[in-house]
Structure 1
Amino acid sequence: MLAADAVITVRNPGTGEVLGDVAVTSSGGLRATIAKAQIGQKAMSASAAHERAKILDDIATAIAQEQESLAHLLAQENGKPITQTRGEVAAAIRIFKGLAGEATRIFGRQIPLDAVPGLEKHLAVTIREPLGVVAALVPFNYPVELYAHKAGAALAAGNAVIVQPPARCPLALHRIAEIVAAAAPEHAHQLVNGGVETSQALATADGIAAVSLTGSTRAGKEIARLASGTLKKTLLELGGNDALIVCADADLDKAAEAVVLGRLARGNGQICCAVKRVYVQEQVHDEFVDALLAQTAELTVGDQLDERTDVGPLIAETAASQVEQAVQRLVHDGATLRTKPNRNGAFLDPAVLTDVPTESPAFAEEIFGPVAPVARFRKPEDATRMASESPYGLQAAIWTRDISRAFTMARALDVGGVVINGSTALRAENLPFGGTKDTGGYREGIHDTVADLTTQKTIIVMDAFQ
C-alpha cells in the first residue's frame, strides 16, 4: 500500500540543503487522481486540434517567462550545472511549441478498397483518436525535458496525463504543473508523488491506457510485466551503453572533445545516450588518450550554481558511490585509471581509464556517471562487432573522414541511432530517439510519440461510389 501522510524531502545533492517537501500520494489519493483523469480525458478528447495547439503554445510561453527561475531550481535539486539546466528548460519550451504544431497534424488515411475484388464501390478511411489516460514516469536525469516529451505529447493527442516526477528532484515539475493547470482543462494534467510503489500502482491500475517510462532496463521490464495484466500500451526508453569509435583517420582532438562533452561534462555523466565506451584504433590510441586526458584536466568540478562549473554533484551520494565502485571493478579487471580518483560526497571527479579489457563485465554495464573507459581495436569491423555485442542498443558514434566507411559501419551497428563525427549525447526533439535490445525498442520524439498515443479507427462507407 502507498503510504498516507508521508512526505519526500528534497535536498540539494551537493550541499544537503533542504529545498522543500512534497506529499507522497496515498493509495486512495492515486485512485481519486485516476478517477478525476477520466473527467479531464473527456474534456481533452472533445477539444478541437486548434484548441489543443493553443494550450500547448500557452504552456510554452508561460514556461519561457519563468525560464531562469526554473533552471535555477532544477540545478539546485538535480545537480546539473546551471548552464546545462538553462538548456534543458529551453528544450522543453521548444518541445511544447513543436507539439502544438503536431496537435494539428494528426492524420488519418484513405485506403483504396478497389484493391480487393468486389469492394470497388466502397470507401474506407481511418481516423486517429486519443488512447485515454496516459501515465508518464519521469526520470531524474533530464526531468523537465523528458516530462515535456511525455506529458506534452499526451495532451497534444487529446489524452489526459498523470505524471510521476522523480522523487529526488520533483520541484521544478511541480511548478510547471501549476503552469499547465492554468492552461489545460481541469484534471487533464495531474501529478502523483512517490517511489517504486507508485510506479507499480500506475502500471497495474484500471483506467490508465498507456504507460510511458524513461528509466533503467530493470525498471522497464517490471513496468511492462505489470502493465501486461491490463493490456496497457507501454512506451519504454531504457538503458544504454553507447560506444564511440575512433578510426585512425579521425580528427583526434575533436573526437576527444566529443567524449569530454558527451560523457564527462554533460549531465554529470548521467545520460542514457552519453558516451559510455570508447574504442580507438591501435595506431592512434596513445595520441587520442593524450588529448582526452589534457581536455579532462581542464574540467571544473564544483557547485552546480557556479557559472564556471562543468561537472556538478551526482543526483545523490549513493549514486556517486556506485560509480566509484564501477571504476574499481574496471581496475580490478585490468584497466588502468589515468586520472586521480577523488569522490567527495555526491561529487566525483571525471575518470579516464585505458587498457580496458573488452570482456570485463564492468565494461558491459551502464555506468551512470563521469567515466570514460577506453579500449583498443585493430580493424573497423572489430569495433562495430564489439560495440554491437552490448545488451543495449541506444546510439553509437563513429569518427572517420571516410564517409563510405562511416556508412558501412553505421549499417553494421545494432543500435537505434548513429552519429558520425559527433557525440552520442545528441537528442533533437524532432528525431526518433530510442534503441534496440535492452534499450526497449521504442522511439520517442514529437512526431512519433503523438502518433503512438493515439489509436486508429477504421470507418467504411458502403456503396460510396456509383
Structure 2
Amino acid sequence: MSIVPPKPGAVIEVRNPGTGEVLGQITAMTDERITAAVGVAQEGQHVMAKMPAHERARLLQEVASRIESEKASLAKMLARENGKPIRQTQGEVDAAIRIFRGYAAEATRLFGRQIPLDTVPGLERHLAVTLREPLGPVAALVPFNYPVELYAHKGAAALAAGNAVIVQPPARCPLTLMRIAELIREAGVPAPAHQVVTGEVRVSQLLAQLPGIAAVTLTGSTAAGREIARLGAQTLKKVMLELGGNDALIVCDDADVKAAARAVVLGRLARGNGQICCAVKRVYVQSGVHDAFVAALLEQTANLVVGDQLLDTTDVGPLIAEQAAQRVEAAVRRLVSDGARLVAGGSRRGAFVDPTVLVGVPNASPAFAEEIFGPVAPVARFSDPAEAVRLANDSPYGLHAAVFTRDISNAFRIAKLLDVGSVMINGSTALRAENLPFGGTKDTGGYREGLHETVLDFTRQKTVVVMDAFE
C-alpha cells in the first residue's frame, strides 16, 4: 500500500478472532521505512496543496463510489477480521461512504474571512482577509473497533483540506483498510499523498516524533493519547485526540424503563461487541424503578444471540482477541469481588464474552470507574437526581452521558450539569452522526471530530492585509 519499497520485517498474522483462522499477513515496517514514507509525503503534500478544491472534491466522491461498489465484500472482510456482526460492519462501511461524500462537499467550503480594520484607529483605509491553507502531512492513527469509519473521518478530512495523509491501520484488523487504500489509489489520489504504514505501537510513536508530520490524529486509549501528545510536543505538531470514555446512563423514576433497557442492550451489549468508546458503561437507576428496569434489561439481554459474526442472526460476536476477552472477564471478577452481584452472563469462551449484567454495584468500586471494553452493563442505584449527576461526573472521562425521563425540563437541567461532550435524552450514548461534533472533556481528550470541525483543523489561517485599499 505504501509507495516505499518493501523490506523484510516482522510478520504479523491477521486472524478471525472467533475461529483463529489466518486471514492474511502484514509486515511490521522498520523505522527506516516509516521515515522514508514521511519524506515521500512531502512530495504528496505539494501535489495536494496545488490541487483545486473541485478536483479534491471529485476525487473524494470517486473514492466513495468505489467503496460503495465493494461494500458487501468490505463489510464481510471487516466482520471476519474485527469480530463485529456483519449487520454492524455493513453499517460501518455505509457510514464511511457518507463521510467521504461529506468531506467532498467540505473541500469546497474552506472559506476565509474579511476582517474590518476600521475598528482600529489609523487602519481605516486597509483591507484584511484570511485564507485557509493546508496544514501539512497528517498521521492518522486508527483504532481496531471502528477502523473503516474512523479512518474515513481522518483520511478523507486530511485529503479534503489539501494534505497528504499517512495512515496506520490497527495491527489486528488492517486488511479492510488496506483494500480501501487500493481503491483510493485507483480513484486517482496521488500515491505520495496517501500511504499506509503497518505495525504496532512503535509506528505511531515514531510518526508522532518525526518533524515531517504536521498533525497527528488519534482515536484510542487515554494512555496512548498521553504518550502521543508527549512525543508530538517535541516538534510542536498539532495533536488531536479522541480517547476513552465511561459513559453514564441515568434512569429517573418517571422513565420508560423498557426504552432505557433497550438503550443499554443496543448501545452497549450488542453494539460493537461492547468495544465502543461511547457505549453505555455505567447505569444509574433511581430507586423507584430500579427493579422494573433490571427486569426489562434481563429480559432483553436473554434474547441476544452470541456467535458467528458472519451470520445475520448474530447480535454479539467475538472481541478483537482472546486477550481482550480475558481483560473483560477479569474486570467482571473485580466488580463481583467489590460487592456487585452477577445476574446475567459473565462467561467467556475464547474471544467470546456473554452479555453480562451486574446489579448492586458499589459506586466506590475501582472497577466501576474503569472503562470496560466489552459487553458488560453494571447497574447501580441512586435516590436523587443530584446524586446521579455527582456520580456520573465523578469519572476521569467525559465523552457522552444519557438521561431517561419524561420531564424535559429535568432532562435539560441534568444535561447542563453533566461534564461531558454530549448528552442524549431518552436514548443511548452509542450515537455518532458524522455531522455532529464528537468528543469529550477531561481524559477523553478535549478534541471534537466531525465533518465541519476536522477539515478546518487540518488547515491553517493566513492573514493578508492590503494597505490603502480604500481611498
TM-score by length of 2: 0.98
Instruction: Give the aligned residue type for 2:432.
Output: R
Instruction: Give the aligned residue type for 1:437.
Output: K
Residue aligning to 1:206: 211
* Aligned counterpart in structure 2 of residue 7 of structure 1, from 1, 11, 15: 11
Residue aligning to 1:349: 354
**In 1: Cα distance, 2:63 partner to 2:284 partner:** 43
* Aligned counterpart in structure 1 of residue 79 of structure 2, from 75, 98, 101: 75
Q: In the TM superposition, what are the counterparts of 1:432-443 in structure 2 within 5 Å?
A: 432-443=437-448
Residue aligning to 2:466: 461
SS in 2 for 1:147: helix
SS in 1 for 2:37: helix
**In 1: Cα distance, 2:464 partner to 2:36 partner:** 35
* Aligned counterpart in structure 2 of residue 150 of structure 1, from 149, 154, 157: 154
Residue aligning to 1:415: 420
**In 2: Cα distance, 1:388 partner to 1:220 partner:** 21
**In 1: Cα distance, 2:36 partner to 2:59 partner:** 24
* Aligned counterpart in structure 1 of residue 101 of structure 2, from 72, 75, 97: 97
**In 2: Cα distance, 1:111 partner to 1:377 partner:** 52
Alignment pair present for 1:172 and 2:176: yes
SS in 2 for 1:115: coil
* Aligned counterpart in structure 2 of residue 55 of structure 1, from 39, 59, 62: 59
Q: Write the deviation string for residues 133-167 of structure 1: whole angstroms up to 9, x where unpaired.
A: 00000000000000000000000000000000000
Alignment pair present for 1:240 and 2:238: no
SS in 1 for 2:320: coil
Q: Write the deviation string for residues 421-453 of structure 1: whole angstroms up to 9, x where unpaired.
A: 000000000000000000000000011000001
**In 2: Cα distance, 1:195 partner to 1:24 partner:** 7
Number of aligned pairs?
465
Q: Write the deviation string for residues 156-208 of structure 1: whole angstroms up to 9, x where unpaired.
A: 00000000000000000000000111221221100000111111000001200
Deviation at 1:341, TM superposition (A): 2.7
Deviation at 1:7, TM superposition (A): 1.4
Residue aligning to 1:320: 325
Q: Write the deviation string for residues 92-122 of structure 1: whole angstroms up to 9, x where unpaired.
A: 0000000000000001111110000110000
**In 1: Cα distance, 2:186 partner to 2:137 partner:** 19
The gaps in structure 1 that reach 5 residues or longer are none
Residue aligning to 1:284: 289
SS in 1 for 2:23: strand
* Aligned counterpart in structure 1 of residue 270 of structure 2, from 265, 270, 289: 265
SS in 1 for 2:55: helix
Q: Write the deviation string for residues 385-422 of structure 1: whole angstroms up to 9, x where unpaired.
A: 11011100000001011110000000000000000000
Deviation at 1:4, TM superposition (A): 4.7
SS in 1 for 2:468: coil
Residue aligning to 1:256: 261
2:345–2:357: 8 Å Cα contact kept in structure 1? no
Residue aligning to 2:138: 134
**In 2: Cα distance, 1:7 partner to 1:189 partner:** 23
**In 1: Cα distance, 2:384 partner to 2:9 partner:** 60
Q: Write the deviation string for residues 73-100 of structure 1: whole angstroms up to 9, x where unpaired.
A: 0000000000100000000000000000
2:332–2:346: 8 Å Cα contact kept in structure 1? no
SS in 2 for 1:114: coil
Alignment pair present for 1:391 and 2:396: yes
Residue aligning to 1:338: 343
Deviation at 1:340, TM superposition (A): 3.7
Q: In the TM superposition, what are the counterparts of 1:354-393 in structure 2 within 5 Å?
A: 354-393=359-398
**In 1: Cα distance, 2:77 partner to 2:345 partner:** 31
Is 162-171 or 178-187 further displaced after alignment? 178-187
The gaps in structure 2 that reach 5 residues or longer are 1-6
Is 339-348 or 288-297 further displaced after alignment? 339-348
**In 2: Cα distance, 1:456 partner to 1:279 partner:** 45
Instruction: Give the aligned residue type for 1:215.
Output: G
SS in 1 for 2:180: helix
**In 2: Cα distance, 1:390 partner to 1:56 partner:** 39
**In 1: Cα distance, 2:186 partner to 2:209 partner:** 30
2:10–2:27: 8 Å Cα contact kept in structure 1? yes
Residue aligning to 2:4: none
**In 2: Cα distance, 1:373 partner to 1:42 partner:** 51
Deviation at 1:379, TM superposition (A): 1.0
**In 1: Cα distance, 2:377 partner to 2:90 partner:** 25
Deviation at 1:67, TM superposition (A): 0.2
**In 1: Cα distance, 2:203 partner to 2:11 partner:** 13
**In 2: Cα distance, 1:34 partner to 1:219 partner:** 21
**In 2: Cα distance, 1:206 partner to 1:438 partner:** 26
SS in 1 for 2:143: coil
Alignment pair present for 1:194 and 2:199: yes
Residue aligning to 2:279: 274
Is 27-36 or 172-181 further displaced after alignment? 27-36
Alignment pair present for 1:449 and 2:444: no
Instruction: Provide the alpha-carbon RMSD of the alignment.
Output: 1.0
SS in 2 for 1:338: strand
**In 1: Cα distance, 2:363 partner to 2:397 partner:** 15
Identity in percent: 70
**In 1: Cα distance, 2:375 partner to 2:302 partner:** 13
SS in 2 for 1:36: helix
Instruction: Give the aligned residue type for 1:217.
Output: T
SS in 2 for 1:40: helix
Q: Write the deviation string for residues 232-285 of structure 1: whole angstroms up to 9, x where unpaired.
A: 100000000000110111111011000000000000000000000000000100
Alignment pair present for 1:426 and 2:431: yes
Q: Write the deviation string for residues 203-224 of structure 1: whole angstroms up to 9, x where unpaired.
A: 0012000000000000000000
Residue aligning to 2:40: 36
**In 2: Cα distance, 1:425 partner to 1:4 partner:** 41
